[in-house]
Amino acid sequence: MIKSRLKIIHFADSHLGFDFPLHPRIDIRRRGPDFFTNFYKILGYAEKKRPDFLVHSGDLFFRSRVAPSVVDKVYKALFDFVNKTGIPIYIVPGNHERSRLPQSIYLAHPLIYVFNRPRYFCFEKGAICISLHGFPFYRGAVRDQFKNLLQESGWHCSTSQLKLLVLHQSVDGAQVGPSGYTFRNSKDVIDIRDIPDDTAAVLCGHIHRRQILYAAKVPVIYPGSIERTSFAEKDETKGFYEMDFAADRADSKKWILEKIKFNELAARPMVDIHLKGIFSKSTLKRWILEQCQNLAPDSIVRLRMSKENNGTVPGISLPFIRSILPPSFTLQTGLEFRNSPDIKSDTI
């Protein structure tokens, strides 16, 4: 009979602060609020479901230097959540934060735990001890250093009944992009065979596509990013994982991942529109409207250019194109527009 159970909510790669300018040069729909909306939805869901704790596996912010007001906005949400619910959250810094979270008095809350170095934290539930081991994103030959980093995190010192590994790294077998590029046998990729057998699960970030790998019987869990950060992710479902760990029916001293559920978050549709041929303003307007008439009203539209046009549309600018699109759209341009000064000069 199962005697004990542990519920965790696991998310990662929230990239908060992305496309969230404090003093925007132009009045357009930004993508930054989308990321905050999903971030708040996860916290709201956790408040209702009452897990034992939350794990954020890196890239809480979209880069290392973020405006103080954005930092406060993020940390206050976390502070208010743990203060109201009493549910702790464990955070590992990612590569976008350069392995170090911005400092704030909000982080001093006793229920916010940060893997600011290789270390472990203990969580007690009744007579059960759970240890969470991890280290900040390691830039360099993590394949060679992984065992040392694991040792520094106190892995072999812990005698807890349930051991979790919290990382923001690539692991052998992880896949990204529309072509399914697979990370394998590289100095900046962890050898999946080095993950200890006594790990209940690896809660990982850094890879934006949700997926579960297996190191023997140990699940390596990537929840993916909470919103689409680029067109390489345009067909990916976004969300977070909710998981239950329980004492094994056959061996009460052994804990297993008994149940895992992916909770989908709303992600704005991303659509490519390909320009072909030479357009005047009037024909371009008519053509774009035809291409957009069946798109969702909150679409993110990327304008692409055929090779025949050589990346230029004479006399056409981003303000003109935006004037055609509904204001609820977000406009992006492909790299081929780098030779078009009228397009390139208008900051998106």
223 in Cβ contact with 216 (< 8 Å) = no
Q: Which of 236, 319, 172, 317 is nearest to 13 (CA)?
A: 236
- In terms of domains, do 203 and 239 share one? yes
pLDDT at position 2 is: 43
Domain edge (last residue) among 265, 288, 308: 265
The total domain count for the chain is: 2
Compute the average pLDDT of residues 290-308: 86
Identify the CATH number of the domain in which residue 201 sits: 3.60.21.10
From edge to edge, which strands make up the β-sheet containing 270-275? 270-275, 300-305, 330-333
Instruction: Return the minimum-mean-pLDDT range out of 105-114, 224-233, 328-337.
Output: 328-337
- Domain that includes residue 239, residue range: 5-265
Is it the case that residue 266 has pLDDT exceeding 50? yes
Identify the three-state secondary structure at position 73.
helix
pLDDT at position 181 is: 95
Choose from 140-149, 156-165, 315-324 the range with maximum mean pLDDT. 140-149
pTM for this prediction: 0.93
Element (H, E) at 272: strand 270-275
pLDDT at position 312 is: 57
- In terms of domains, do 191 and 286 share one? no
Summarised one tens digit per residue, pLDDT across range 177-208 is 999 999 999 999 999 999 999 999 999 999 99
The Cα–Cα gap between 152 and 198 comes to: 17
In this predicted model, which residue has the larger pLDDT, 2 or 122? 122
Enter the tokens of residue 173: 């077998």
The Cα–Cα gap between 225 and 139 comes to: 20
Enter the tokens of residue 129: 């001890």
Of the chain, the percentage scoring pLDDT greater than 70 comes to 91
- In terms of domains, do 186 and 310 share one? no
Enter the tokens of residue 287: 């053509």
In this predicted model, which residue has the larger pLDDT, 63 or 3? 63
- In terms of domains, do 232 and 295 share one? no
Q: Rounding to the nearest 10 degrees, give the CA dihedral for residues 21, 24, 25, 28.
A: 110
Instruction: Look up tokens 């980093």; give the residue.
Output: 149
pLDDT at position 338 is: 66
- In terms of domains, do 146 and 284 share one? no
Q: Rounding to the nearest 10 degrees, give the CA dihedral for residues 92, 259, 42, 135.
A: 0
- In terms of domains, do 212 and 275 share one? no
Band of the pLDDT at 346, cuts 50, 70, 90?
A: very low
Is it the case that residue 316 has pLDDT exceeding 80? no
Is it the case that residue 347 has pLDDT exceeding 50? no
Q: What angle do CA 206, 208, 214 make, to 5 degrees?
A: 75
- In terms of domains, do 187 and 290 share one? no
Compute the average pLDDT of residues 54-74: 96
pLDDT at position 278 is: 62
6 in Cβ contact with 52 (< 8 Å) = yes
The Cα–Cα gap between 330 and 34 comes to: 12
pLDDT at position 164 is: 98
Tell me the three-class secondary structure of 144-197, residue by residue.
HHHHHHHHHCCCCCCCCCEEEEEEECEECCCEECCCCEECCCCCCEECHHHCCC
67 in Cβ contact with 22 (< 8 Å) = yes
Output the average pLDDT for the chain.
91
Band of the pLDDT at 49, cuts 50, 70, 90?
A: very high
Single-letter amino acid, residue 252 = S
pLDDT at position 26 is: 84
Q: Say which residues have a Cβ less than 8 Å from residue 2's Cβ, sequence separation at least 6.
A: 246, 247, 249, 258
Compute the average pLDDT of residues 320-328: 87
The Cα–Cα gap between 261 and 241 comes to: 6
90 in Cβ contact with 55 (< 8 Å) = yes
Domain edge (last residue) among 265, 283, 306: 265
Q: Say which residues have a Cβ less than 8 Å from residue 298's Cβ, sequence separation at least 6.
A: 268, 269, 328, 329
pLDDT at position 286 is: 86
Summarised one tens digit per residue, pLDDT across range 65-98 is 999 999 999 999 999 999 999 999 999 999 999 9
- In terms of domains, do 81 and 166 share one? yes
The Cα–Cα gap between 206 and 96 comes to: 9
Domain edge (last residue) among 231, 265, 299: 265
Summarised one tens digit per residue, pLDDT across range 76-85 is 999 999 999 9
Band of the pLDDT at 147, cuts 50, 70, 90?
A: very high
- In terms of domains, do 240 and 295 share one? no
